[in-house]
Structures are given as C-alpha cells and as structure tokens.
Amino acid sequence: MVLSTRQPALLLPPPPAPLGTTTRGASPEQLKAAVYEKTVAEFLRKQQGFFTLMTDDQSFIKLFRSVLVGRLGFAADNAFLTLPNTENLLRIIKERDAGGYRTFVVIERLFRGRDMTSTVREIKESFPKSPVMVLSTGMERDRIVYLHEVGADNFIVRPVSSDTIVEKAAFTLKPQSELGQAIDIAKGFLQAGDPEKARLAAGRILEIKPGSAAGLMVLGDAEAALGNTAAAKLAFRQAAEGAGLYIEPLRKLAALSEATGDLEECLSYLEQLDSLSPLNLERKVGMGELNLQLGRDEQAQVLFEYVVDQAAREAMDIMVSMAERIASIYATKDPQRSELFLRKALAVKQEVYTVDDLRIFNQLGINLRKQGKWREAVTEYKRAMQIAPDDAGLQYNLGMAYAQGEQMADAGRCVEKALELNAGFVGTSDSVAFNMGYVLLKNGRKNKARECLETALRLNPANAAVAKVLADPAFA
C-alpha cells in the first residue's frame, strides 16, 4: 500500500449547499458559510470585483480556483489571475480601478525571496480601497501588527482550506452597513478637500456608534485640516484609548506633535507605536534621530544598533526563502539536491527556529520520504516538534514516515495523536483521510478506521482505493 506524501492543508466542516440552493435543515456552520459565500459572490458580481494572486504556491492557486469556479460558479478568467512578479501589479490595479473594477490582492509575505511588506504599503497608499490579504505559513504577532500598520486588511495562514478562503475573503470585504456607509461618506468629504462637511459627517458616525474609533479618526483629520490642532489631538487620543491595537491614531498624534515642534511629545507617541509594532525599522531610525536631537546619544545608539541587527535578520529570512524556492524547483527532478537546499535553509537559521520554519521541516520530511529515507524523515519531524509539539500536521506526517518504514504501531499512535489534537484534521483531503484510515485499520482500530475512510469517500466519491478498503473482510 502506497501512502500519500502530499502535504496536507487543514479543512473546516464540509462546505454548505451551493448558492441558490435551499438552506433548510442546514447547520449553523453551514448557514454562516452560505453568508460568507454570498458576500464573496456579490463582490465579484455587483462590485465588479477581481482577485489577483501573487504566489508560487500551486496548491493554494488550485484551491483558490476551486472556490471561485467550482464552489461559487464563476469563470476563472472573470474572477482572478495570478502574477509572476510585482512589476505589473500596480499598473493592473490602476487599469482595473479606472475601469470601475475593484481588485482584491492576495499576496505572499515572502515572494521569491523578497519581503512584500513594502509592496503592501505601496498598494494601500495608491489604492486604499483595494483589499489586501497576506498569505503566509505561520506568522508572529509583531509581524501581523506591522503588516496591519502598512495597510494589510487580513491574513491567511497555511495550512488553509476552501472554507477558510471564503470566510477570510468575506470578513475582509466587510459588507456595507449604515455605519460603513457613513464612514465612506465622511472619508469622501476629506478626500474632496471639504473638512467642514467631513466634521459634520463624523458627528453622524458618532451618533450611530458612540466612541467609534473610525468616526473619531475622521473627526481628528477634519479638525487638523481646519487648523484646530487641540481638537484634533483630543479626537485622536480618544480613538487610541478606545481601540487597544489601533495604530493610526498614534501615528496622527506623532505627526501633529512633530509639526508643532514638540519633539518630546512626538518621541513619546513614537515609543507607544513601537511597543505595539516593534518591527518598523524606519520608525526606530526616526526615534534614534529624535533622541540625538534631544541630546540622548546612548538611547540613539541602542536604537540604531537594533535596526542594523534586525535588518541582518530580515536578510537571513530572504536567504531562507531563496533556498526554499530553489529546493522547490529541484523537488521533482532531483530530490537529493532539493534536500540539500532545504538543509541549507535550516542551516541559515543557526538552530534558532520559529513556527515559520515548520514548512521547511515538513517539506524536508516529505522530500526524504520520497527518497525512501523514512528514518531521516522521522528525525526531522521530531526536531520540528520541539517548535510545535501540538501540531496535528506534524503528528500526521511523522505517522506517515513510520508507516513507510512498516512501523505501524508507531504510525498508529501518531495518527491517533493527530486526531486528538485536531479532530477535523481527517477532513483535510481524501488522501489524508484514506492514509489515516489505513493506518488505524492496520492497528485494529476498525471503528475509527471506518470513520476516516468514510470521510475520504465523502470528500472524493470517485476514490476507488477507499471503496476497495471499505469492502475488505477485515471490517466484517
């Protein structure tokens, strides 16, 4: 029996009935999923929406296509495109924007060895109404906050499912409510250069939702444009106090303080910003410069040295990303060279690993299994478990490595541990469910094995191998 080595992606419960079909008798999860589907479909249909994907992850592209085409019923050419580089991205958004279309960008955080943070900033500065969702494999809180700061609207973290794509896209699009419409109107007055009307519109927002951070931000911008610095600062302070991780009010306050020559106050706001989003190196340089102007040479030096050290770490991330990309190029043609570059990627990390590195260990383990090196794969998966001991995907992959070596008792323990950590993991794909069922059957766990195999058949009724195993006399 050949077990699949395809890397899994977690799935949520089965998708709801297609759009337009009855939801009578549907579960609460299916009803919510139907609402999410409607939101995405209306974006594509009524808002002339279009998805633009910047990723080399063919599995993700295939899954995204299946959502838009198979699940929502749109023609691929009318719903999304993938771009091989960033060169034409802004031009394409501009052309579509001019034509009345709305572009939704899904972009890798690290794309072909480059950190895309600056590209996210460019998109949002040039096209603030274009939603941007960042795709990654694991992400630390500070990185998420920093990307939010430069304009990212949402995040999608591997492993990912079709349900996750629909839900994340729907939340990012945020269907218009009365409050949302009022905010858009107020911002429109600001963009049109009419701060007096913007101030009145901000009052309407605060009537609908007292204490609204968005309303207070518009009010602050309007007051600043009218020259009412004290009133603007008050509005921004209230917005900052009412929303714990809302960075924009502090940025506005820092800018106002700098414009009025209050360097101490400006530095204070920058320090508050830095505590929320510590990865912004440009801000740290600015803080260092202010410290120098205020005669605090030692504080400035500490900040400048941190900037240089962090820049070196970011360069290391780029080296890792390039090694991974080269490994993926070799993956099918020369697994041994692919393994070499994956090991180079891990070596760059110098034994200091984070959850972001799980993907490298997973790929290395899969690569080793393809070469028949199941023992080495076991070693790498166990190293990865020191980073994430409760990761169901790692437990599954470790089990598959043991199964390849005919160590079925060990394989069974890993499969059961994966299900214990995440009962929904079996719904990842029909191949994952089949592999789990097969291993459990070999360990005499007939009832659990049947459940897994039936899940595989539900996910893919055409899977003849599953039907054959279910017909095995061992289930009698």
pLDDT at 59: 86
What is the 3 state secondary structure string of 197-253?
HHHHHHHHHHHHCCCCHHHHHHHHHHHHHCCCHHHHHHHHHHHHHHCCCCCHHHHHH
What was the pLDDT predicted at 8?
A: 33
pLDDT score of 473: 75
- Phi and psi of 212, rounded to 5°? -55, 120
pLDDT of residue 16: 37
Query: Is residue 440 a contact partner of residue 414, using CB atoms and an 8 Å limit?
Result: no
pLDDT at 1: 35
Tokens of 160: 């990912």
- What pLDDT, on the 0 to 100 scale, is given for residue 2? 34
pLDDT score recorded for residue 98: 85
What's the pLDDT score for residue 26? 62
pLDDT digits (tens, 9 = 90+) for 385-440: 988 888 898 999 999 999 999 999 999 999 999 999 998 888 888 889 999 999 99
The predicted pLDDT at position 176 comes to: 55
Task: Say what the pLDDT of residue 183 is.
Answer: 83
What is the model's pLDDT at position 200?
Answer: 92
Name all domains of the chain by residue range, CATH numbers in brackets.
28-173 (3.40.50.2300), 178-275 (1.25.40.10), 279-352 (no CATH), 359-475 (1.25.40.10)
277, 142 in Cβ contact below 8 A? yes
Instruction: Tell whether pTM > 0.75.
Output: no
Below-50 pLDDT ranges, the chain: 1-22
Q: Residue 177's pLDDT is what?
A: 65
Identify the three-state secondary structure at position 449. helix
